[in-house]
A and B are shown apart, each in its own frame.
Chain A
Amino acid sequence: MAVVSVQQVSKVYGHRFSLVNALNNISFDIEPGEFVGIMGPSGAGKTTLLNMIATIDRPTHGQVIIKDQVVSRMREAKLANFRRQDLGFIFQDFNLLDSLTVRENMLLPLALDKLSVPVIEKRLDKVSRVLGISSLLDRYPDEVSIGQRQRVACGRAMITNPTLLLADEPTGSLDSKSATELLQYLTVINRQEKTTILLVTHDAFTASYCRRILFIKDGQLFSEIVRNGDRQQFFNQIIDMQATIGGGGRFNAVTPNR
């Protein structure tokens, strides 16, 4: 049973005279416990697709179903609750609140849920241990390193035990060392906590940590590759696919849509 089911989703932006088809009839499913990546060149509609799944935006046609609920038709008030309890977000520039300490940033979603103090502290303790930021809890975001900041954002996203963890270019602002670290943590979360992760990126290295990758081009699903062997091999596959999308790859792959 799929956690996320995207069914014939299209999105049209813009004015009457300059319509942009950001997404064009996209369908796919994500099973529980998967680590899925979405890749594609700039302007392919990655972020639009993520926004649809994240309930931030609504599709023009089609529907998005998460946990048997048609979120693309949910009321805005109900959506807020849904986002808080079932979705977790990691942004490219972390979007931590700099007036709150690391601890407060992480427990904010739980506080909004009005959970009791012992429950909040238990979850906080667990998540910060998993992410290795227990010693930073009383610092402010600008007092920790960039990599640690993204881990805090990650902690904020997963503290509610979300059904789905969404990451929009999570390594985009990180140096390679912090990026590797973060991706390893994400892998750990995916394995240990069985959290479903959906990650959007255009970086092949980041994408190589996923188990399955959907490629999007010009608003359409271009192809899909699944990791079978080790990461290095998967990485090469991704590079090839990127080249193919860019126009004529090493293997001159024929696209399934053609």
Chain B
Amino acid sequence: MLLHLTVRNAINHARDYAAYVIACVAAIVVYFCFTSIQTAPIFKHLKMVGESFAFDRMIQVAGLIILLFAAFFLAYANLFFIKKRRREIGVLSVIGVTKFQISLLFFFESLIIGVIALIIGLLFGILFSKLFAMLLLRMMGIAVAMPFLISWRAIEQTTVTFGSLFLLTGFLNSTLIYRYQLVTLLQPSAVSRKVRRPNWLTYLWGIIAPALIVSGYYLADQTLVLMPNLERHYGFGIDLVYLLAILLFEIIGTLAFFQAYTQIWLQLERHWKRLYYRGTHLLNVTNLSFRFKKNAKMLWMITILSAVTITALGSAAMIYTYGQDTLRQNIPADLIYTQSQKAAVDKILTQYHVRPVSQTVSSFKLVDARFKVNTPLTREGIKMDGAAVIMPLSQYNQVMAQQFNLPATKLAKNTVVTIINLPLTMMKMPRKAGAGMSPDKAGIPLQLDQSGLAGLRIVHIRKLFPNGADMFFEGGLNVIVANDAEYQQVQATSVDQIYAVQFSAAQQKQKQLMRDLFRLSKKPKQQDYLIMHKKAGQPHYEIKTTSQRLEALSRQSVLLKKPNRDIANANFGFYMYVAIFIALIFMLATGSIIMLKQLSEAQEEILQYKTLKKIGMSDSEIKRTIYFQILMLFLLPIILGSMHAFFAIRLLGLFLDNPGLQLAYIVCGLFIIIYFVFYLITANIYNRIVNAPLNSEVFY
């Protein structure tokens, strides 16, 4: 009998439960797709490509996060639906069904729903997992034909995980029923929508809230100026305190914003009668102030969650851009090699009959140089003494044009460009005049121990190395670009040449060729070392090529672009993929929580809107105020959240040398668009609930 009732119940509430089932299915699909990449055969491909990434570890952690959120989200959705059916529990109690029986009923019912959701979820999951796997491979830049395979391990894992989750929620539901009182079950819950006038504490917090948020932003924006100052006073430990302070400011500020600031803002609006007494504005303001008050904590949580999500997505995109940039800067041509490797490279190229599309040769001399670079870290600036590479301007311009599409640099007599490898954060901020020197018109004096080249001045400091930084001994060697005439005067014992080669697309696809070149780049027969002899007064440098290991500065003597790019793409593609999955589940959770909460409130407001309609508000007016109110509830958290994320991404970007943020913004924009879809759906359903025609006797 009870079983019969259970089945009938589930069928009767199919429409009620449709939303819940859809929510469960979404969670299951996301989880399934994620676990299936772990167990599917393509995983082996992934392992082959990425040499050394913590793939397993990362997938486990991400899987756990996804599962946690799925569980949280399921529990929330479940609670919502149980609440919605309070009346039913009450009616069952009244006709004499015992609480034990009711709880059994609800337990079985949630199990049935769970089984249905699981079956649908797995079906969709199997369909989508291939799509997601292809997306992953695509993002990792791997071209592999994927067979349509059903991953049994993923099915098993999903079934076990979600099966126990559903058991748990079923159990939770049945205990919940014991806590209800019959009287409260049958009466519709009456909530007073009255909003008290804000007291002085609310005013205080309302003023503090924007102050906290703005000062947090200020701190984040001025990190590079303020942090070194603080470091000088309190040591490097202050860095963590500084970042924590920003975080805390934003978190507390956001809470106060929703708890107090919105109240005060809406209270002020009540005094502005010209606007307040105009059409539906009065309703908007009072309803919003009630809803903000009631939902402050939820909105706060949503704001923080969406800020975290957007930041995670944005920084994954930023890291991706950063990786691409670094790769492009470090290996600016398809193949770059030094004089010492010329024979070996030529041998491979002739073996495969390859004629490169283009080839540039640049030469340099090794000298001893001394100069200072301005820095915010110390008053004195950073001393750059020691070996440096000097190269002629004409060759520099040629290489830079070819590799980076940069316009030619012009230099006046006795001026030079230096290229140094310091993070931008360490040298960009010019300090007050007097301390150190900035590269202005006068330039930084450069001392070369060369006769006839006394008054050289550095007029530009750059970061982009011709042929990539790795060619210059651990990237630590500074490069000086001088006019050709001055370059000729430089006396040096050591002269070297670097060859940069571009391949055609077809040549890059020759696997055998690439493999041989890759092997050479990983294990060249000869290593180059920088040897310094210190004679009396003047150091003397020499590049030594040997097959033995030496305790000296070494360099990459062969750089090959394609395989490196592939590995980097695979890595970053994978990170991006994981980030997107986590963002997806976060978004699902936050979006649905707002949505469910709003819809449950809609039930309580049916009477209000019915009254309004009777006293002469038209359907379209009601629709407009509903869309407006829900827009506010959705918009404020997402605006605040994206602003938090914007500053967070910029702050993180500072530590990555300001990579391009375009991709990050695009990804975040996408996130916001999806959020907007959530808004439209919610507003639509809400409107349908409260804006039903007056003469229709629909019970919700």
Contact = CB atoms under 8 A, between A and B. Distances in A.
A54 B614 contact: yes
Interface string A76-97: 1100111111011101000101
A111 B277 contact: yes
Contacts of B277: 107, 110-111, 117, 120
B621 A80 contact: yes
Interface in A60-117: 76-77, 80-85, 87-89, 91, 95, 97-100, 104, 107-112, 114, 117
Given A77-B620, A97-B193, A99-B290, A56 B279 contact: no
A51 interface: yes
Nearest to A54: B614
Nearest to A160: B616
A100 B616 contact: no
B347 interface: no
A15 to B, nearest CB: 13
Contacts, number: 91
Contacts of B286: 97, 99-100, 104
Given A99-B286, A117-B274, A80 B617 contact: yes
Contacts of A77: 618-620
B287 interface: yes
Contacts of A80: 613, 616-619, 621
A83 B616 contact: yes
A142 B618 contact: no
Contact of A84 (B193, B278, B290, B615): B615
B607 A111 contact: no
A194 to B, nearest CB: 21
Interface in B244-291: 273-274, 277-283, 286-287, 289-290
B619 A76 contact: yes
Contact of B192 (A57, A84, A142): A142
Contact of A109 (B195, B281, B616, B695): B616
A87 B615 CA distance: 8
A24 B620 CA distance: 33
A222 interface: no
Interface string A155-180: 01100000000000000000000000
A104 B279 CA distance: 12
Given A56-B694, A57-B695, A142-B194, A100 B619 contact: no
Contacts of B194: 98-99, 140-142
B195 A114 contact: no
Of B279, B607, B615, chain A has the most CB atoms within 10 Å of the CB of B615
Most buried by B among A82, A85, A100: A100
B245 to A, nearest CB: 38
Size bin of chain A's contact surface: 35 or more
A54 to B, nearest CB: 7
B52 interface: no
B358 interface: no
B611 interface: yes
Q: Is the interface of B mostly helix, strand, loop or mixed?
A: helix
Nearest to B280: A112
Interface in A129-160: 140-142, 156-157
A143 to B, nearest CB: 8
Nearest to A141: B194
A58 interface: yes
B193 A56 contact: no
B608 interface: yes
A84 B615 CA distance: 6
A97 B194 CA distance: 9
Given A99-B286, A104-B282, A112-B621, A83 B614 contact: yes
Contacts of A82: 616
Contact of B611 (A76, A97, A112): A97
Contacts of A58: 695
B691 to A, nearest CB: 11
Contacts of A87: 616
A1 B684 CA distance: 45
A80 to B, nearest CB: 3
A57 B280 contact: no
Nearest to B194: A140
Nearest to A86: B616
Given A57-B694, A95-B607, A98-B192, A111 B282 contact: yes
Contacts of B289: 99
30 contacts: A56-B614, A56-B694, A58-B695, A77-B618, A80-B618, A80-B619, A80-B621, A82-B616, A83-B615, A84-B617, A87-B616, A89-B614, A95-B610, A95-B611, A97-B286, A98-B194, A99-B193, A99-B286, A99-B289, A107-B277, A107-B282, A109-B616, A110-B277, A111-B278, A112-B280, A112-B617, A117-B273, A117-B277, A141-B194, A142-B194
Interface of B: 192-195, 273-274, 277-283, 286-287, 289-290, 607-608, 610-621, 693-695
Given A95-B607, A99-B286, A109-B616, 5 more contacts: A77-B619, A99-B194, A109-B615, A111-B279, A111-B281
